[in-house]
Amino acid sequence: MPGNVSLDAHSVKTIVLTQDCRDKHEYYFKLAKTDRVHCKLTGKIKLVKRIPDATFGLAPFSSGERTRSIYADELRQDRLEKLLLHRKCGLISDPNWGEIDLVFPFAVYEAKGWSGDYRKARHQACTAAATYLDMLDNLGREPGPTDSAKPYQTTTSHQYQVFVLTSFGSHWHILVGYRRPRQVDEFAGETGMSDTVYVSG
């Protein structure tokens, strides 16, 4: 073949990001309570645990498993644990708080049989996707105290998405979810409204 190029290990650095899928990998999220009449945020928060049918993310590894230099150091369990426990960072990388088994999820799957409700499956999957988008948003920002206004690390750090898969019997739906700032026509800046909205398409 014309144009063949020969590369050796010293001329190229390869980073391997191993994907992982975990069945019934629970996650926690802070559910902002809303007023039943006005549908606005009340300022009260409730901690909720959910267990989707499957979660897809990156697989971390321990320092003892690192036998080749192609693995990304950023996915070492001990490094992720230090970021989690660091008082000026507190980066949550696993949706199951306190764990480092499956990190930075990028897809979720919910299934219902013919006797189930497809709307419930979609709602459950989209709730997980919103939680994972919040985690990815935190990853793209400068380290800092929790619940503080932190700038993005780069001009494109806010560009990320999560995939949502649902099945109802033999019918499948695939959605791509992302978050963006609330627009003026969506009541941006109004008291009781969130700063961001979650979109799926």
CA distance linking residue 92 with residue 84, whole number of Å: 6
Q: Is residue 7 part of a domain?
A: no
CB 133 within 8 Å of CB 79: no
Residue 111's identity, in one-letter code, is A
Residue 198's identity, in one-letter code, is Y
Q: Is residue 132 part of a domain?
A: yes
Summarised one tens digit per residue, pLDDT across range 24-33 is 888 888 888 8
What is the pLDDT, as a whole number, of residue 65?
A: 61
* Total of domains in the chain: 1
What is the pLDDT, as a whole number, of residue 68?
A: 56
What is the pLDDT, as a whole number, of residue 163?
A: 96
Q: Is residue 92 part of a domain?
A: yes
Please write down the HEC assignment for all residues of 118-146: HHHHHHHHHHHHHHHHHHHHHHCECCCCC
CB 171 within 8 Å of CB 116: no
Q: Is residue 9 part of a domain?
A: no
What is the pLDDT, as a whole number, of residue 18?
A: 66
Which residues, other chains included, contact 186 with Cβ-Cβ below 8 Å and sequence gap of 6+? 193, 197
Question: Where are the strands (E) in the chain, listed by range?
Answer: 19-23, 27-34, 41-50, 54-58, 103-112, 162-168, 171-181, 196-200
Q: Is residue 8 part of a domain?
A: no
Q: Is residue 134 part of a domain?
A: yes
Which residues form the domain of 117?
19-200
- CA-wise closest residue to 31 among 99, 165, 130: 130
What is the pLDDT, as a whole number, of residue 64?
A: 63
Which residues of the chain are under the pLDDT cut of 70?
A: 1-18, 63-71, 146
Place of tokens 């507190």: 90
- CA-wise closest residue to 173 among 105, 104, 124, 102: 124
Q: Is residue 135 part of a domain?
A: yes
